[in-house]
Amino acid sequence: EIQNLRSYSNYLTPRLGLFSADSWTLVGTYLRNLLLNWSVIIPLLAAFLTLPWLYSSIVMMDPPPRTDALFWTGAVLIVIAVAYMGFNLPCGHNLRWNQKRFVLFCLLPLFLASVLMTMHWAWFNYYGRSLIAWPLFGFGEPHAWVPFLYLGMALHLASYLTSLLPAHGFRPLEFVAVIVSGAIGGVVLWLGTHQFPRPVMQMELYICLSIPFFMALFFLAIVVFAGISSRWTEDPDREWWGRAAGWLFAVALAWILISGLVIFGPLSLKWTWSFITTGGLAALVTVLGGRSSKVAGSQKERATESPMGLILSKASTIAAAVFAAVLLILITEVTTSVMAKLIEAYHVTLSYQADLNSVSGLLGRAEPYLNVIFYTPWRLVLPLAILLLLVAVVMARLVNANKFSLHGVYRDRLIRAYLGASNSDRRPNPFTGFDENDNIKMREIWVEEKFHGKLMPVVNIALNLVRGEKLGWQERKAQSFTVTPLHCGSSAMDPGYRPMAGPDGTVYGGPKGISLGSAITISGAAASPNMGYHSSPLVTFILTLLNVRLGAWLGNPGKSGDHTFQFGYPESSVQPIIDEAFGLTSDASPYVYLSDGGHFENLGLYEMVLRRCHYIVVIDAGEDPQCSFADLGEAVRKIRIDFGISIEFDEINIFPRGCDVAQSQKGRNCAIGRICYSVLDGPNAPDGILIYIKPACYGDEPRDIFEYFKRSATFPHESTADQFFSESQFESYRMLGAHTMEKLCSDCGGDFECFIRDVLQRHLDIKA
């Protein structure tokens, strides 16, 4: 078995070299999986980026329909949104509806109303006052503001009559606040329509700013109403208004950014082709920075972050933003170029008698891609958006989110190296080198008569909660998840676990249950878009785009997964990809994203304390050259927070390389902690014993280890990102582990109780 592990110390590509089939297999497999994932992601992004384009094509209809339907529909949507505010305000009906209802019944109607109203205003500029033929529009130019004033008052009054008035009756000051805020909003709307650029003249600005401007009117109305009504409203009302305004700002800013990239982004490609090179370099920095252990997922993740860590963190964040922008711009450029070719090939008539070489009103020169966006008939843009969306949906049903990520590549090679070592009847395929019989199902491990008195395998995994509901977990962004031969799941969920025993199709993780190979692969899936407390929003987006995904999507073992827990992958990869890219993973979806256990707690100590194990042996092999014991500290902290159980150490005499002679002489490879179960379970509950083992070199190691120690500046804490071990490197770590265990105990023949007794009695003078 050891010889097999030596053979596969470079388990990803066992045979190295430029002309190695293993190396090119890895490259080819990555590119295949990347292209298949892009067949979902790129059409999905392209369809999303057609929204400003579709909006422009409708605004620039030639001629636009002579109708008031958009105006009246927008007015009704405004009444619905403002009425919702009245029903949900603490000073109103106080129905206490949640955020999802706010988005559905308030934010979405306001956004759609802004879209419809600004479209209608563009048409109004085309036809003049023959559209919306109210008597009010008989006012002369000096009084043109009057109909806008009446419009604002009428919309606010309609919402007041349907919500606030029935809630608590007539209040004179409240009525005045409603009328005044509506009137001010109407007058500001009039000012905006007179000062705002006419759509035909400066379409670039109109697309980017008209909808945010209209939404800003609602924010202004909120400000006015909150100020006037402050005498009878309370803090809860003002907090509600503040949160609503925050949502309005977020949506308005998102529209400006997306439409700005679509309208002005491709211009940057004409400056220099080095912009594309910048995007490629940005992607490289993002991936390298994102997988570096020196990069913090949030600004406060590591109080002692090194200068290099800070540099990498900032560089990867900026690079991620640049790469994301470049990618979206390139998608826009390609999409508009395809449409331009179709327009030329089929002699499509553009709006306003324009052609691809028409001069832009803002830029003062011809930009073909802008003419495609502005003047392409909506009857072409809408089918294009639908086609792109259809391609994404169909491919998402065909492309397995787990098999065609790096997870599958990683899993197959881990199984070959580590499970294949114990397969005495291994018969690998002579061409690929893989044997499907190396892997076994997790539930097949459990044979009760064989496991009597022996250790139960518990695989430590993180369930990602980057968008979780628990506010107290915003730093950790994950919860513990375990896979055993009996159950899979998390104690933080209800129900928490699903069985591994039962008929096919009723167990967790697939028709026959999750395999041991899949479990250990997920447990070691360090590089993933969502990485628990390491997660960073922009890096998350880029890692998803580049398909750097070692984790896996499995059915939710909780209540939300009652109908999906038995599936080994999602039926469609659209929602998982969106959740990964934008950090929306949670435990409330039918499927959950599982990754490296270290994204929650790296030692597995949390789950052992949860199970009230009396003797716990932890081997900390994480990258920790300064012996700061970060993983141990994280585990102790989470255990105290979640269970109320503290773990106490008298002293930890484990020192980093470069320690002085005095430290080296008293340096140890282990420390003993006391797990204070009695604090929570009562005075009669025996406390547990934690034996914490960590690799360290003090000069008493065999000469080959000491030689490698002198040669490698970071041994025995070399980067965990290094997945390619040389022969000397592999043997040095293996022998250091053997030397460490020989120092701790005598030959116990695999007897766990003997090991505990030796460690406590012989080395620490504690009786087991």
515 pLDDT tier (thresholds 50, 70, 90): very high
Does the structure show a pLDDT above 50 at 395? Answer: yes
120 pLDDT tier (thresholds 50, 70, 90): confident
Average pLDDT, stretch 340-348? 90
Could you tell me if residue 688 is inside a domain? yes
Percentage of the chain lying above the pLDDT 70 cut? 81
**Cβ-contact 435, 416 below 8 angstroms:** yes
| Total number of domains constituting the chain | 4
Geometric angle at alpha carbon 167, from 165 and 169, rounded to 5°: 50
Pairing of the two strands 615-619 and 688-693:
parallel
Cα 314 to the center of its chain, rounded Å? 18
DSSP result, 481-497 = EEE-SSEEE-TTSSS-E
Could you tell me if residue 11 is inside a domain? no
Range name among 68-82, 374-388, 743-757 with the lowest pLDDT average: 743-757
164 pLDDT tier (thresholds 50, 70, 90): low
Does the structure show a pLDDT above 60 at 284? Answer: no
At 383 the pLDDT is 95
82 plus 216 within the same structural domain: yes
Which residues 6+ apart lie within 8 Å of 263 measured at CB?
52, 204, 207, 208, 370, 373
CA distances from 570 to 38, 356, 399, 591 (A): 17, 44, 10, 7
Could you tell me if residue 20 is inside a domain? no
Average pLDDT, stretch 147-164? 69
Higher pLDDT, 95 or 343: 343
661 pLDDT tier (thresholds 50, 70, 90): low
Which residues 6+ apart lie within 8 Å of 183 measured at CB?
149, 152, 153
End-to-end CA distance of the chain: 33
650 plus 712 within the same structural domain: yes
Cα 269 to the center of its chain, rounded Å? 29
**Cβ-contact 573, 405 below 8 angstroms:** no
Last residue of a domain, one of 267, 300, 330: 267
Does the structure show a pLDDT above 80 at 512? Answer: yes
Could you tell me if residue 13 is inside a domain? no
At 410 the pLDDT is 94
440 plus 335 within the same structural domain: no
Q: What is the pLDDT of residues 212-246, one digit of tens each?
A: 988 887 777 777 766 766 665 677 777 887 888 88
196 plus 290 within the same structural domain: no
Range name among 96-100, 331-335, 599-603 with the lowest pLDDT average: 96-100
**Cβ-contact 609, 675 below 8 angstroms:** yes
Mean pLDDT, the chain, rounded, equals 83
Structure tokens at 430: 């002579």
624 plus 646 within the same structural domain: yes
130 pLDDT tier (thresholds 50, 70, 90): very low
Whole-structure pTM value: 0.84
At 462 the pLDDT is 96
343 plus 490 within the same structural domain: no
443 plus 584 within the same structural domain: yes
Could you tell me if residue 46 is inside a domain? no
- Calpha distance 306→154 (Å, rounded): 60
State the residue for tokens 């190691």.
701
355 plus 213 within the same structural domain: no
- Calpha distance 402→410 (Å, rounded): 11
At 262 the pLDDT is 93
Does the structure show a pLDDT above 80 at 557? Answer: yes
CA distances from 720 to 13, 527, 594, 598 (A): 17, 11, 20, 12
Q: What is the pLDDT of residues 416-447, one digit of tens each?
A: 999 998 888 899 999 998 999 999 999 988 87
Average pLDDT, stretch 730-739? 94
Per DSSP, the three-state class of 516 is helix
**Secondary structure string (H, E, C) spanning 522-543:** HHCCCCCCCCHHHCCHHHHHHH
Average pLDDT, stretch 341-366? 80
Could you tell me if residue 683 is inside a domain? yes
495 pLDDT tier (thresholds 50, 70, 90): confident
Could you tell me if residue 223 is inside a domain? yes
Does the structure show a pLDDT above 70 at 482? Answer: yes
- Calpha distance 31→37 (Å, rounded): 10
Q: What is the pLDDT of residues 569-586, one digit of tens each?
A: 999 999 999 999 888 899
**Cβ-contact 594, 554 below 8 angstroms:** yes
- Calpha distance 520→551 (Å, rounded): 11
Average pLDDT, stretch 614-643? 94
Does the structure show a pLDDT above 50 at 138? Answer: no
276 plus 263 within the same structural domain: no
Last residue of a domain, one of 214, 239, 267: 267
84 plus 212 within the same structural domain: yes
Per DSSP, the three-state class of 402 is coil
Per DSSP, the three-state class of 390 is helix
Could you tell me if residue 36 is inside a domain? no
At 271 the pLDDT is 63
Average pLDDT, stretch 337-341? 93
- Calpha distance 505→513 (Å, rounded): 8
720 pLDDT tier (thresholds 50, 70, 90): confident
Burial degree of 758 (CB within 10 A; 0-12, 13-18, 19+)? middle
Residue 672: strand pairing partners = 691
Q: Phi/psi at 222 (nearest 5 deg)?
A: -60, -45
347 plus 494 within the same structural domain: no
Range of the domain at 504: 402-599
- Calpha distance 513→554 (Å, rounded): 11
At 664 the pLDDT is 66
Per DSSP, the three-state class of 312 is helix
Q: What is the pLDDT of residues 683-703, one digit of tens each?
A: 999 999 999 999 999 888 899
Last residue of a domain, one of 267, 289, 304: 267
List helix spans (H) across 138-273.
145-162, 164-168, 172-195, 203-228, 235-271
- The total number of residues shown for the chain amounts to 768
- Calpha distance 535→296 (Å, rounded): 8
506 plus 584 within the same structural domain: yes
Does the structure show a pLDDT above 90 at 633? Answer: yes
